[in-house]
Structure 1
Amino acid sequence: MIDKSRRGAAEPDVLAPDAVARVIGDLGAAAYRWTPPDDRMVWSAGAEAMLGLARGDHLKTGKDYDGRIASGSGLSRAEAARSSAIHGPHAGTRLFETSYCLLPPPGSFMPMLRVEDCGLGLFDADGELLRIDGMVRLVPAAFLDAAPGEGVADPMAGRVHLTRLVERKLAEAAGGDAEFGFLMVGFDRLGRLNEAYGSEIGDELIDAVGGRLREVRGSGEVLARFSDSKFGMLLSTERLALAPHFLARVNATPFRTSAGLVTASVSAGAVVAPRDGGRAAELFAHARDALRSARARGAGSFETFHAASVHAVQQRANLRFVDDMLSALGENRVSLAFQPIAATETRIVQFHEALVRVRGRDGGMYDGATIMPVADRFGLTVLLDRHSLELALAALARDADLRLSVNVSPTSIHDDVWLRILDEGTRAGRGARLIIEITEAAGILDLEVMRQRVRWIQERGVRVAMDDFGVGYTSFRSLRRLGVDLLKIDGSFICTLMESAEDRHFVRALLDLAHNLGMETVAEWVLDEPTARQLAEWGCTYLQGQLIGLAQGQPPVGDTPAPA
């Protein structure tokens, strides 16, 4: 508490410099000033302790500090400041934000650090960087130090590695080898813990649980991150029978974090292969069902999969659907429908969204809303995304006047095959007529990796849009960092725009934000003329929905006016 009685009444309440440094240090951060003309760096107290005393010699100059940034891990502070389009509070200043990895000093056994760096760059009239005032903060470790060959804890890479191992062991089991077990371990009420303590403490808890699972892991057993809050473990059926005991060990005591001791628990679901499934996707789905049943019994519970459960009945129906989807891919039963997107002011169609359609064996046509939830659950999304992109590029090749947008999930956008398909299409000169829509509702695991992927796509002449914005996980700040070209506002906010004051405030704020960030905007599900006029008044760039036109099997040739 500040004692005002010891000062004059006119003196403002201001923290002393040492108090400011203490607050910054307590937040796990360090402030700095870097002046490029003399390359000198000055740090707040505690910077060496936070980054490691052995790194002290590399904190004195910008050149030495930048030399410790791992190649390809992110933009340096200078690169981020120069590329920023966000003006600061004073003339000649720009706000920036970046993230990168700091390598350990040569000959040191210190770990590599992930660092967030944000601040304010000052430029002269010729655009030369004169000074940066900023702050760095350590990011909690996101990777498990799995034993060599046992996979990693990055959610995407860990899941891919587990899938390959499970498929290989299933092939071995088909040759007469013994059964094996798969255990899925997940947090109980991690969302509530994040709300109570913050996501950084949540990250620490995930790391702590991973450490305890490593302690109970037996020789030859495989442990990896399966998703943001789940772990997967491959083990023998004999060891699987002991899972309740080592689960109890994991939950035995509170977890130590930077916020102190935190009480948390994990539950687990188990399957036996190949008894409970002949494919990795099937086993993972059954393990999730078992984990769901365990959580229903109470925090810290364990459950094995039972084929006769209600979830299993639904699972079998889903598997039949999945089998139909796989057959459709091989039998040319996957196609595209094309929905027009028009300029708000002129109502001239500017491009079409290519929407995936699958014709079932029964002759029925399934749209994306029906297909994608099941496809995502069973690992088919990347196959559909690849095929959709191939079909879209083929349509562009047939019609030189056609412009298309095509959807891709945040997972598929890193798929080597999908990237090769896109690269070949852009080399054939179709990139300028293509827009890639990233599905925002699915969530983005690594913002920096996604930012680099967006830039890779844009370098090939392809524009990038954030689809369904407003219903997923991407924040306004993250949106700015991604650097996309278009923002598509989810239709659930548009279709009720004229009836809901809350939706009007939200949509107008999104349009203002996008305008300030230099992004074009698309409003989905535009149903009527009053909604269109309101969006036009607020500066929305494009309209999509029933008012403009429904999806058709073939797009019209050339730009056409939408109905007025």
Structure 2
Amino acid sequence: MSLRGATSARKSPLGGFGSDGDRGPLDPRAILTSIGEVVYDWDLASDVISWGLNAADVLGMSDLATLSSGRAFALAVEPGSGPTRYDAIFGPKGSDGGSGVSFRARYGIRLPNGRLMMVEDTGRWYADAEGRPAFAHGVVRIDRNAADEPPAGLNDTLRERSGFITAIAPEVAEATRQRRSVTVFVAAVDDLGRINDEIGYECADAVIAEVLRRLGSVMRRRDKLSRYAGNRFAMALLACTGEQAEIAARRMAGAVESAPVMTPRGPMGVRLRIGAAAAPEHAVDAPRLLRRAEEALGALKKVPGGPSYRLYDATLAAEVRTATRGTPALDVLDALNDRRVVFARQPIVDAATRQPAFHEALVRIRNADGTLVGAGDIMGVVERSGIVPLVDTRMVELTTDWLAAHPDERLSINVSPLTLEGPDWLNALAAHLGAKPGVASRLIVEITETAAVRNVEATRGRLDALKALGVALAIDDFGSGHTSFKHLRNFPVDILKIDGAFIQNLSRSTDDRFFVRTLVDLAHHLGIATVAEWVEDEETALMLADWGIDYLQGDHCGRPAVDADGNEPRMKVA
């Protein structure tokens, strides 16, 4: 397995294993070089990397001294280009039973001439007596089909929050042990809603991509950059103290704000706001460190037009404690990381037969004591903090898995406007549906009416993309946003869910009765099925059925419940 000392000349019966001066057509070095591959050994104890003899040819470097150790190699890896070899070996949980543990990574190497080269790195690592990675043998392959300059930070894994945590966890742990510093930034484009309204969602996506590129242009090679949750960028600055971080933040904000971003609709000025936290001062592990930076950004966003930068400190910690005093001990991000996000199913019944037609999946968080916290307790915080796309993506995973296991059932899920505006959730949905044949036709995606009319053209494009995946579409809280007949006729909608605010007063309000009947007639004219929300009594249910409503939803027809083995969970919020 070792590559060291492999310099003696040999002759093959096939005529091709000569020395450097006698390289035949079957010389492994020539073949490896022709296909862009080089093997290596990495002794993790000494941090020495021994490369194959063709390394200089494959990697395009005459001096391999800059890649002769794991630490030196890490400095050549382009920030945000993908999980590295180190991440692949130390990130996933695995144990070596004697034959090693396989790993795979794809990332970019920045060459001395400035060119970015994408590589695929595969191999196996072997453990020491205590089960820790001690030695790795692998091969680096040049991806010649990849563009030389892919968009910085747009790796599918690093785009996600959990991927970023995995990527920085070893550095944070090392900083804690060695009393060095790692600072994490969480940045966001300020007032993105205004940008969406002025230039449209597609152009706003281009603005976000340009911001990401500008951030990458001023980051050090050893630092890490990731985009996650739509309009959020996470950065890890190695060997950077909290005091030094403000200087770095000014440099990054300056790069982003130095010139307007050119879009198809014209130039657009942008402003960046950055929350920061440093290890080990503010946290000693990656999840908490990122959370502290998110809290710092959240504090900034509470003050429109306020400061652009805030470092987590004791004052902010006190503010967070005050804001959560008297509420359940709830940490949505920790719940996501711990996979304690679950869903309750509430039946939506046929108005005539009262038999369940499908169920709505409602997000819940399971506390340590087994109690469940409902959406009413968490969604406000989740939406204000900008992490709702993470929750929505988790719900896609949960519900598609459940539908795959229950082929006779149908579910509906809600997606927030913030999530719908970005591409990540739609890509995640497509991936899960592609992996689970037969699920798409039994999944209903709900968007609110107000979200649907925020940008009609962009909404139509996203709805068409969803329909192309094979799912059904519902407009939730219908009646609150005053969607026009033209909008309904042009949207590929299957179901209208009438806002429960109009349903709950039907027995007392003639105006509500007129309005709801009008909505039902409009939907029937367009061939769209209807659901009445918040049905709480039999009188209302009978009235709605008489008007021709298709489905009923509310506690009168069935309360939300979480599937559980054994004891029925205690529901905190219906």
Instruction: Give the TM-score range, shorter chain.
Output: 0.5 to 0.7
Root-mean-square deviation (CA), in Å? 4.7
Asked if the contact 1:251–1:300 (Cα under 8 Å) also holds between the matched residues in 2, the reply is: no
Equivalence for 1:370 = 377
- Aligned in 2, Cα 1:551/1:409: closer, same or farther, shift over 3 Å? same
Report the Cα offset of residue 180 of structure 1: 0.2
Equivalence for 2:163 = 161
- Aligned in 2, Cα 1:299/1:326: closer, same or farther, shift over 3 Å? closer
Does 2:239 correspond to 1:263? Answer: no
Asked if the contact 1:524–1:543 (Cα under 8 Å) also holds between the matched residues in 2, the reply is: yes
Rounded Cα–Cα distance in structure 1 between residues aligned with 2:337 and 2:254? 45
Q: 2:352 aligns with which of 342, 345, 353?
A: 345
Report the Cα offset of residue 545 of structure 1: 0.6
After superposition, where does 1:71-220 map in structure 2 within 5 Å? 145=150, 151-152=153-154, 157-176=159-178, 178-220=180-222
Identity of aligned residues (%): 25
Rounded Cα–Cα distance in structure 2 between residues aligned with 1:262 and 1:353? 40
Q: 2:449 aligns with which of 470, 474, 477?
A: 470
Does 2:250 correspond to 1:245? Answer: yes
- The TM-score normalised by the length of structure 2 is 0.53
Equivalence for 1:128 = none
Asked if the contact 1:436–1:464 (Cα under 8 Å) also holds between the matched residues in 2, the reply is: yes
Report the Cα offset of residue 319 of structure 1: 9.9
Q: 1:487 aligns with which of 474, 484, 488?
A: 474
Equivalence for 2:487 = none
Task: Give per-residue Cα distances to partners, 1:45-83, cap 9 Å, x unaligned.
Answer: xxxxxxxxxxxxxxxxxxxxxxxxxxxxxxxxxxxxxxx
Rounded Cα–Cα distance in structure 1 between residues aligned with 2:387 and 2:266? 42
Asked if the contact 1:213–1:250 (Cα under 8 Å) also holds between the matched residues in 2, the reply is: yes
Give the SS at the match of 1:242: helix
Asked if the contact 1:488–1:522 (Cα under 8 Å) also holds between the matched residues in 2, the reply is: no
Give the SS at the match of 2:310: strand
Rounded Cα–Cα distance in structure 1 between residues aligned with 2:174 and 2:191? 37
- The TM-score normalised by the length of structure 1 is 0.53
Asked if the contact 1:467–1:489 (Cα under 8 Å) also holds between the matched residues in 2, the reply is: yes
Asked if the contact 1:255–1:263 (Cα under 8 Å) also holds between the matched residues in 2, the reply is: yes
Rounded Cα–Cα distance in structure 2 between residues aligned with 1:379 and 1:280? 19
Rounded Cα–Cα distance in structure 2 between residues aligned with 1:510 and 1:437? 23
Equivalence for 1:543 = 552
Report the Cα offset of residue 224 of structure 1: 1.9
Task: Give per-residue Cα distances to partners, 1:287-344, cap 9 Å, x unaligned.
Answer: 23322444527367221112322533257768943399869989xx999866443211
Amino acid of the residue matched to residue 495 of structure 1? A
Deviates further, 277-286 or 496-505: 496-505
Report the Cα offset of residue 181 of structure 1: 0.6
Asked if the contact 1:281–1:379 (Cα under 8 Å) also holds between the matched residues in 2, the reply is: no
- Aligned in 2, Cα 1:539/1:220: closer, same or farther, shift over 3 Å? farther
Equivalence for 1:431 = 407
Give the SS at the match of 2:226: strand
Amino acid of the residue matched to residue 165 of structure 1? A
Deviates further, 461-470 or 175-184: 461-470
Give the SS at the match of 2:314: coil
Give the SS at the match of 2:267: strand
Asked if the contact 1:487–1:514 (Cα under 8 Å) also holds between the matched residues in 2, the reply is: no
Q: 2:536 aligns with which of 505, 527, 540?
A: 527
Equivalence for 2:320 = 312
Q: 1:288 aligns with which of 278, 289, 294?
A: 294
Report the Cα offset of residue 248 of structure 1: 2.8
Asked if the contact 1:265–1:300 (Cα under 8 Å) also holds between the matched residues in 2, the reply is: no
- Aligned in 2, Cα 1:298/1:368: closer, same or farther, shift over 3 Å? closer
Amino acid of the residue matched to residue 476 of structure 2? I
Rounded Cα–Cα distance in structure 2 between residues aligned with 1:371 and 1:221? 33
Asked if the contact 1:155–1:225 (Cα under 8 Å) also holds between the matched residues in 2, the reply is: no
Task: Give per-residue Cα distances to partners, 1:402-460, cap 9 Å, x unaligned.
Answer: xxxxxx95412665xx599558x53xxx312x223322236333346635644654625
Report the Cα offset of residue 464 of structure 1: 0.6
Rounded Cα–Cα distance in structure 2 between residues aligned with 1:282 and 1:319? 19
Equivalence for 1:275 = 281
Deviates further, 529-538 or 202-211: 529-538
- Aligned in 2, Cα 1:204/1:353: closer, same or farther, shift over 3 Å? closer
Does 2:310 correspond to 1:303? Answer: yes
